[in-house]
Structure 1
Amino acid sequence: MKLQLAVLLISVLLEGSVALPAVNHCLTKFEESLKETMALRRSCEEAHLKDCCQIAEASKIIDNDNYTPGSGIYDISNVCQSTAAFTQDIFPPMKARCNMESSDGGWTVLVKRTPDVDERVSFKRPWVEYENGFGNLSGEFWYGLKNMHCLTSQEPMEVEVEVSKTDGTKLVLSYGNFKVDGPSTSYTLHVSDKHYEGFDFSLHHNGAKFSTFDRDNDQNPGSCSAIYNKGGNWFGNCYNMHLTDMPKPQLHNSERFLPYDYAELRVRPKGCIALSDSPGNCE
């Protein structure tokens, strides 16, 4: 309203009369310019933000709580450039798939399995590909052990693993602590603080080194990766959760194998601002 009054006053002073068409045209052009400016600011902000949580927070602040970013692919910064550079040839310049809907959003997706693609991605891969990452962020992918280590080593992280079937059956496993150590430890996994009722699917994986069919670091006399379709995993002896199993991701609850059609592993910093929260006055 203040803007409209100001433009109207300028029009009166310059023309000596109220020229409503000119006022409306001016307001329309101003609104278009504002939208372009906000879009540019979002792009610039994304380029300097290190994960999907910060993108969600910045989007709320920039638009004064009027903009909720949708799930999709965003640019994030390379926060480990000096130590373990992101594999920019796989996901340039540094892209991330963000889940902005589940549990208030702000999640960076590390693993995605879905049948809703034209061509399925094979997860029968050697060590070097699991280290660097493979797949397509718009479909199925493995984000890369280097990137996982980078993202989970900056601050305490929480994790959700969601598995579901085409018939609507869904299970969400959440843990309050998740971290992937560096290459000198074979990317040892730390996961704890279960936030759901029922069987703990981290039993075989907490403290485990990562293994592939060509680099066996598990606790089994054989090779868990070779036994279970050559997918890489943090195998203990052998697994309760195998998101890279082929042809479908699987869970194992000590009694039976549980295949699923969809799977997503996602992380975010502890204390990530919920998208439903108000950021307050950000002047």
Structure 2
Amino acid sequence: MHKLLLIIAVVGWRVALSSEMMQQTTGEATFYVAGQEELHSLLVSQLAMQSLLTNMSQDFTAHLAEYKAATGESKSVLANLSQALTAYLTKNATAVHANEHDVNNINMHLLQEVEELRQKVIMHETQALEMADQLQEKEGILQKQEETIQTQNNTLQSYLETRHEMEETLQEQNLALQQHVQSLQEQKEITRKREEDLKEKEESLKLQKVMIQQQEEMLRHRGNLSQQQQQILHQTNREHETLKMDFENQANRTRQLEEECQSLEEAKVILEDQLQECRQNVTKVTVKTTSPTVDCDGLYQQGMVESGVYTIFPACSQIGVSVLCQIHEEPGNYAWTVILSRRRQTPQVDFARNWQDYKNGFGDPDGEYWLGNDNIHALTGGGSYHLRLEATNLEGEKRFAEWEHFSVAHEDFQYRLRLHSYSTISTLGNVFVEIDDVTFSTDDRDSDNWSKSCSASRGHGGWWFNRCGGVYLTSPIGNVNDDFTLMSTWYFTKSSRSYVGLSEVKLMVRRQ
């Protein structure tokens, strides 16, 4: 390319030079002769220049041919590149169009998700506000409970002081009572001896009276009764009457002493009962003035000392639930929360109930009762609990079984029961072997795994039935074995699968 530009420049310069020289030749014809030599040399120069131009033209032609060949090859390459580029652009245009469609879909989906997230954020903000209000309300309730506890603690302190004073007074009264009883017993012994003496004297007087009467009869017959004998007779009669009155008075006094002894014994029993009741009340007040707890084991840790009916607050419930708490000191020191209690009593509690009754609970913890499925879920749904079954057969033999993991789901899941890890220390067999992962059923809401209703065929009680086999703790209490319509169980001994009638049952839970 540089060579071509150089050739063109030289040619241009030569043409311009030739033109200038021609003008000089025409204008100076008169000097032809004088400039012939100069013209000759100029022609020589022109020939040399022409030869140079010829060579340059040949070089230019060769270079031009090379350039054309290169240009043709470049055009072929460019054509191929153009075709490939066109195909690539066409493919990319199709992909871009598809991507634009996908991007539009993704944008629409993202917009929907953003809207859903915005709605969720609004809902969560609303829930957070509601929870904040509930938390504030609970803080107020807790503050009131703390104030109540403080008041109860003050009352308890006063009550304890009063109890101490009462115990001292009762001890003094008991000591005085014992002394008085001892004195009365001594007086009673003296009175008994006096009664024996009086009886002897009375017998003697009776004999004397008989003898005197005989003598009077004899004297009347003889008609010579003397005045002295008459006086002696009257004196003897007066002494007899006096002794008789003394005997009656002594007998009355003895009866009074016996009645006083009886009254004092009764008063002693009453005072001892009052002292025991006072101690029990102090125990219950001590338990009640501590912080609310979710189950009986919590109450036991706070100072509960004996089994009985107490109030718990499962799942931080603001409304307390009355339950039967049962303390087991061997093995270990535990307090179990009883969720089912059955026994013979008058009248019997009817366990043929509907779903709502089993949901809420029914009966009396002092006797027969069902704690309620909501309360059982509140107790066990959020933690790990043991389960214990205590059963008594018709002959009075008691056995038990325990499982290490027990829970009941929410009503939305039909109170599904989870149970496993049967304990080898059990004396009952694994009577619940078929009810793990089974939902609750009642006569009006059947969800068992039988084509018919297990509840209807097993006494109309509610239970985790599965296919109806195994154990029936909500059926009526009967008096015979091998009747699965009555409260009964199989595996009363680990090797026996026959149905054994039950007279008493307790089902209870405790935290691990």
TM-score tier, shorter chain, comes to 0.7 to 0.9
**Looking at CA atoms only, which structure, 1 or 2, has the larger radius of gyration?**
2
1:54 is matched with which residue: 298, 316, 320? 298
- Match in the other structure for 2:351: 123
Kept in 1: contact 2:362–2:371 (CA 8 A): yes
**Deviation at residue 77 of structure 1 after TM alignment:** 2.0
- Match in the other structure for 1:158: 386
Matches within 5 A, 1:85-104: 93-101=320-328, 103=330, 104=333
Secondary structure class of the residue paired with 1:79: helix
Kept in 1: contact 2:283–2:305 (CA 8 A): no
What percent identity do the matched residue pairs reach? 26
Which of 242-251 and 97-106 deviates more? 97-106
- Match in the other structure for 2:375: 147
State how far apart, in whole Å, the 2-side matches of 1:55 and 1:157 are. 16
Secondary structure class of the residue paired with 1:233: coil
**Deviation at residue 29 of structure 1 after TM alignment:** 6.0
Matches within 5 A, 1:1-283: 31-32=164-165, 40-45=285-290, 48-59=292-303, 69-81=305-317, 93-101=320-328, 103=330, 104-115=333-344, 117-165=345-393, 167-196=395-424, 199-248=429-478, 249-253=487-491, 255-270=497-512
State how far apart, in whole Å, the 2-side matches of 1:205 and 1:38 are. 39
State how far apart, in whole Å, the 1-side matches of 2:407 and 2:311 are. 22
> Any gaps of 5 or more consecutive residues in structure 2?
1-160, 168-278, 479-486
**Deviation at residue 37 of structure 1 after TM alignment:** 7.8
State how far apart, in whole Å, the 2-side matches of 1:200 and 1:56 are. 29
State how far apart, in whole Å, the 2-side matches of 1:218 and 1:102 are. 38
Q: Report the CA distance shift for 1:39/1:231 in structure 2 as closer, same or farther (over 3 A).
A: closer
1:139-198 Cα shifts (integer Å, max 9, x gaps): 000110000000012320001000013533111010001100111110000111000367
TM-score by length of 2: 0.41
State how far apart, in whole Å, the 1-side matches of 2:466 and 2:376 are. 19
TM-score by length of 1: 0.72
Kept in 2: contact 1:178–1:189 (CA 8 A): yes
1:201-249 Cα shifts (integer Å, max 9, x gaps): 1222111000011111100111110111101100111131211011352
Kept in 1: contact 2:314–2:375 (CA 8 A): no
Kept in 2: contact 1:70–1:101 (CA 8 A): no
Kept in 1: contact 2:354–2:442 (CA 8 A): yes
Kept in 2: contact 1:204–1:238 (CA 8 A): no
Q: Report the CA distance shift for 1:32/1:50 in structure 2 as closer, same or farther (over 3 A).
A: farther
State how far apart, in whole Å, the 1-side matches of 2:469 and 2:312 are. 32
State how far apart, in whole Å, the 2-side matches of 1:38 and 1:32 are. 17
Q: Report the CA distance shift for 1:31/1:132 in structure 2 as closer, same or farther (over 3 A).
A: same
Which of 197-206 and 127-136 deviates more? 197-206
Larger RCO, structure (CA 8 Å, separation 6 or more): 1
**Deviation at residue 76 of structure 1 after TM alignment:** 1.3
State how far apart, in whole Å, the 1-side matches of 2:336 and 2:301 are. 12
> Any gaps of 5 or more consecutive residues in structure 1?
1-27, 60-67, 271-283
Question: Which has a greater percent of strand?
Answer: 1
RMSD of Structure 2 on Structure 1 (CA): 2.6
**Deviation at residue 79 of structure 1 after TM alignment:** 2.4
State how far apart, in whole Å, the 1-side matches of 2:283 and 2:458 are. 49
Kept in 2: contact 1:77–1:94 (CA 8 A): yes
Kept in 2: contact 1:160–1:174 (CA 8 A): yes
State how far apart, in whole Å, the 1-side matches of 2:328 and 2:446 are. 37
- Match in the other structure for 2:8: none
Letter in 1 for 2:326: N
Secondary structure class of the residue paired with 2:299: helix
Kept in 1: contact 2:410–2:416 (CA 8 A): yes
Secondary structure class of the residue paired with 2:506: strand
Q: Report the CA distance shift for 1:222/1:51 in structure 2 as closer, same or farther (over 3 A).
A: same
Secondary structure class of the residue paired with 1:179: strand
State how far apart, in whole Å, the 2-side matches of 1:188 and 1:131 are. 13
Kept in 1: contact 2:417–2:436 (CA 8 A): yes
State how far apart, in whole Å, the 1-side matches of 2:504 and 2:163 are. 45
State how far apart, in whole Å, the 1-side matches of 2:351 and 2:403 are. 24
Letter in 2 for 1:203: V
